[in-house]
């Protein structure tokens, strides 16, 4: 604690406590005064101040637009003491039809675009209130809402606007405060009005009843919501949730049997330029193998053209890959965190928000009615005075002409109030005629009847409900005069979450030849090729070559017993010598490639023998050799100087094992265990030497070996038949000198 010299104005405080108190004050100011909308009008302070300032400046729908700078200045100077950019950005947002479902500002000039372009500076753009904005301001000069002093006490500003429709849900809101945020999606105003009327008629209505009117959000940019009604119901019930939104697209047929996909609507709040840029980047990175090209042909309307790799590509599968990897499908969050009428941040359900709006409409109706009654009372007081004057007109005129103090004389003689007397003395001579008296009596009668009616309205909850329903019905009619504005834009189609799509589904199945050199340079060549014609780098030669398909995988075994997985279609192809496996697999310098296996469709359950140089090994299914990461998968455990020696696909019911000591052992495959990883069991025992080779054969076909292009049949193989783990006998005469079954 820092201790200061005390005086009347200096106090010693804990720095931690002082900082906490001040940060809490800042946080609450951010929450209440900037970031969260009011549940009653759906507006943040800055947008509310902009609309009110424009009303006061009479920048109305039926007037000419004014420079945006003329709006920003007064708002900043009178009501919102923050940065000019903050005010102008809020003004621009209210004018953007791709952000606001029902724009509150009519803009002229460059107000940005769905591509993410910035709006022009405030000195270039012009604005005026939209007709929708007037519905939020209706009755504001009739004491419909409370006012408060502005930041310096020089002006009065409304605490909330007398919104005539549920603007919070109609236009939504996005805001980030300290420790909390809000994200409310736009909805269809006609559906909101219908549900509000239903809630007025049935205050105990359930969420299911309300969702019969409001099936879900209605976004400015359209699109399709693909989550189930249960997902939306949970979000509306709790005030928190999320929902997936996809682009809307059509499939256009082309000549020759081909097609192209035309995207006409993109998800809400997605920037089209970034969407196309990201998709193009994925295309260049070969992450979207079903897509050949993407082009933006948009003008006034969105038109994104997607060209498939070929006409055999399933369009739905193509779109599924885009939904999975790009913002053609996004997840929009719903967090209905708002300020209640008491100014308290709270997460509300859909019904809570509608009820809060209804409560505000009751309050507004009462305030406007009381204001009107008070105004009528003042007018009736004046009219009562006029009627007394007309009865004694000549006497009143005489008093005015002769009395030293006509005001007091009139008040004393005929019992008029001060206000009545002032009004009488201000009467023009031309109004002192019979017709004017009749008009006053008629006005007096009409106002008295209106006052009685309004007083009855204040005393009757049912009459208030009927009046609110009438007002909301009028709002519906006003909106429905513009069908394009009120027609639902977002539709619904339940679709499951897109699971990871197998790579095979992305790839066109083509015949290729896999080539790998002794030094580890790997590549593919189209079709079946004569491997004797394949060229290698100087000092390098062949190691592995086999025909396969682009949908296959290569399983690479290294000397440390790890297996790595390569997708054939991702390997370099065409001219050149390919790429080194040491780079592709990020191998250590002391690790070498021992063998390559191919994994084709339907071969996952095939058994493979993996063996080490010390003669140990086991059987494993091919699917257990597939590595999901670039780091590979440890299958055969070895310790130096022992290395992984080989892997062979099991192709028979007997196994023949030979060591470099030229001893051969044959036994049944059934003696080998099936494992997923480990050291394995002893295949053949060696006093000295290591494992040289292994082969499999069926009992009925017998053992064979190959020297060059000739294959030799060994009929006396049963003489070498024994049990697993024995040393075996010396190889028969004629066995390859390389001690390999194929040399």
State the Cα angle at 416 between 413 and 417, rounded to 5°. 135
Cα–Cα distance for residue pair 49/79, rounded to 1 Å = 6
Q: Which residue of the set 79, 88, 102, 124 is catalytic?
A: 124
Exposure string for 691-717, b = 16+ CB within 10 A, e = fewer: bbbbbbbeeeeebebebeeeeeebeeb
Residue written as tokens 């279609």?
569
Q: Write the CA distances from 269 to 16, 95, 222, 498, 507, integer angstroms.
A: 41, 15, 11, 21, 32
Report the interhelical angle of 350-391 vs 393-402 (nearest 10°).
80
> Residue 240 belongs to what H/E stretch?
strand 240-246
Please count the CA atoms within 13 angstroms of the CA of 148 that sit on its side-chain side.
Answer: 8
Q: Is the peptide bond before 641 cis (omega within 30 degrees of 0)?
A: yes
Cα–Cα distance for residue pair 366/198, rounded to 1 Å = 21
State the Cα angle at 270 between 268 and 271, rounded to 5°. 135
Cα–Cα distance for residue pair 592/594, rounded to 1 Å = 6
Q: In the numeric block, which tokens belong to residue 81? A: 């003491």
Q: Write the CA distances from 498 to 244, 290, 324, 334, 616, integer angstroms.
A: 11, 16, 6, 21, 44
Cα–Cα distance for residue pair 89/299, rounded to 1 Å = 25
Closest CA to 49 of 89, 12, 78, 86: 78
Name the phi and psi angles at 247, rounded to 5: -70, 165
3-state secondary structure 514-552: EEEECCCEEEEEECCCCHHHCCCCCCCCEEEEEEEECCC
**DSSP characters over 291-345:** EEEEEE--SSS--EEEEESSTTS-HHHHHHHHHHHSTTEEEEEEE-EEE-TTS-E
Q: Write the CA distances from 488 to 328, 485, 654, integer angstroms.
A: 20, 8, 71
Closest CA to 85 of 46, 130, 35, 126: 46
The side-by-side arrangement of strands in the sheet containing 240-246 is: 173-176, 181-184, 329-335, 240-246, 224-225, 491-492
Residue written as tokens 């997840």?
331
**DSSP characters over 645-712:** EEEEE--SSEEEEEETT-EEEEEEGGGSPB-SSB--EESS--SS--EEEEEEE-TTT-EEEEETTEEE
Q: In the numeric block, which tokens belong to residue 542? A: 């062949």
- The single-letter DSSP state of residue 721 is B
**DSSP characters over 149-163:** E-TTSSSEEESS---
Closest CA to 62 of 118, 139, 128: 128
Concerning whether 418 is annotated as a catalytic residue, the answer is: no
State the Cα angle at 699 between 693 and 705, rounded to 5°. 35
Which positions are catalytic? Answer: 124
């Amino acid at each position: 604690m820092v201790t200061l010299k005390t005086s009347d104005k200096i106090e010693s405080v804990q720095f931690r406590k002082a900082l906490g108190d001040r940060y809490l004050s800042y946080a609450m100011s951010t929450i209440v005064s900037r970031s969260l909308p009011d549940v009653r009008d759906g507006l943040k302070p800055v947008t509310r101040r902009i609309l009110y300032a424009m009303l006061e400046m009479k920048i109305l729908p039926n007037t000419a637009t004014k420079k945006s700078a003329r709006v920003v200045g007064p708002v900043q100077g009178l009501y919102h003491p923050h940065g000019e950019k903050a005010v102008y950005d809020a003004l621009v947002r209210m004018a953007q039809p791709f952000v606001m479902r029902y724009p509150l500002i009519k803009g002229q000039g460059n107000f940005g675009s769905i591509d993410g372009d910035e709006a022009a500076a405030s000195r270039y753009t012009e604005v005026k209130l939209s007709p929708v904005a007037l519905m939020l301001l209706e009755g504001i000069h009739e004491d419909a809402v409370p006012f408060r002093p502005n930041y310096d006490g020089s002006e009065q500003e409304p605490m909330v606007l007398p919104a005539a429709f549920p603007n919070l849900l109609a236009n939504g809101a996005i805001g980030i405060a300290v420790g909390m945020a809000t994200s409310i999606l736009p909805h269809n105003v006609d559906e909101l009005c219908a549900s509000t009327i239903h809630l007025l008629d049935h205050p105990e209505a359930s969420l299911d009843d309300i969702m019969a009117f409001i099936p879900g959000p209605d976004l400015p940019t359209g699109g399709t919501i693909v989550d189930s009604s249960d997902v939306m119901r949970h979000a509306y019930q709790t005030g928190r949730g999320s929902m997936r939104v996809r682009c809307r697209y059509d499939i256009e047929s082309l000549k020759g049997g081909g097609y192209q996909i035309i995207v006409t609507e993109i998800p809400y709040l997605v920037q089209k330029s970034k969407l196309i840029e990201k998709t193009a980047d994925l295309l260049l990175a070969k992450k979207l193998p079903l897509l050949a090209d993407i082009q933006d042909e948009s003008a006034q309307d969105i038109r994104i053209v997607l060209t498939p790799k070929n006409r055999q590509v399933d369009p739905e599968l193509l779109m599924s890959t885009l939904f999975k990897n790009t913002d053609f499908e996004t997840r929009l969050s719903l967090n209905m965190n708002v300020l209640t009428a008491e100014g308290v941040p709270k997460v509300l359900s859909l019904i809570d928000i509608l009820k809060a709006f209804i409560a505000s409409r009751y309050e507004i109706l009462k305030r406007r009615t009381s204001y009107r009654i008070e105004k009528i009372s003042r007018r009736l007081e004046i009219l009562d005075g006029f009627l007394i004057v007309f009865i004694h007109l000549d006497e009143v005129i005489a008093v005015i002409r002769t009395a030293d103090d006509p005001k007091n004389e009139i008040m004393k003689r005929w019992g008029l109030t001060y206000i009545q007397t002032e009004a009488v003395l201000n009467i023009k001579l031309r109004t002192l005629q019979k017709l004017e008296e009749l008009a006053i009596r008629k006005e007096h009668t009409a106002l008295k009847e209106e006052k009685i009616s309004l007083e009855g309205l204040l005393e009757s909850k049912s009459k208030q409900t009927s009046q609110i329903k009438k007002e909301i019905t009028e709002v519906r009619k006003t909106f429905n005069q513009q069908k394009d504005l009120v027609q639902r834009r977002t539709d619904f189609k339940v679709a499951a979450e897109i699971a990871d799509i197998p790579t095979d589904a992305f790839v066109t199945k083509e015949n290729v030849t896999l080539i790998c050199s002794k030094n580890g340079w790997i590549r593919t060549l189209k079709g079946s090729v004569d491997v004797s014609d394949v060229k290698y780098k100087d000092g390098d030669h062949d190691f592995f070559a086999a025909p396969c398909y682009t949908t296959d995988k290569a399983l690479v075994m290294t000397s440390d017993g790890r297996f790595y997985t390569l997708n054939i279609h991702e390997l370099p192809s065409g001219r050149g010598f390919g790429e080194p496996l040491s780079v592709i697999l990020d191998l250590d310098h002391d690790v070498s490639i021992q063998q390559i296996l191919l994994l084709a469709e339907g071969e996952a359950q095939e058994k493979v023998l993996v063996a080490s140089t010390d003669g140990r090994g086991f059987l494993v299914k091919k699917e257990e050799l597939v590595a999901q990461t670039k780091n590979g998968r440890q299958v055969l455990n070895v310790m130096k100087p022992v290395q992984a020696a080989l892997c062979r696909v099991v192709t028979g019911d007997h196994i023949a094992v030979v060591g470099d000591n030229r001893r051969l052992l044959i036994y049944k495959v059934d003696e080998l265990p099936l494992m997923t990883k480990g050291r394995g069991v002893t295949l053949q025992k060696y006093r000295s030497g290591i494992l040289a080779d292994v082969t499999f054969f069926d009992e009925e076909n017998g053992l064979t070996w190959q020297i060059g292009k000739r294959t030799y049949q060994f009929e006396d193989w049963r003489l070498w038949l024994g049990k697993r783990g024995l040393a075996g006998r010396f190889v028969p005469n004629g066995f390859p000198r390389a001690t390999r079954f194929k040399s």
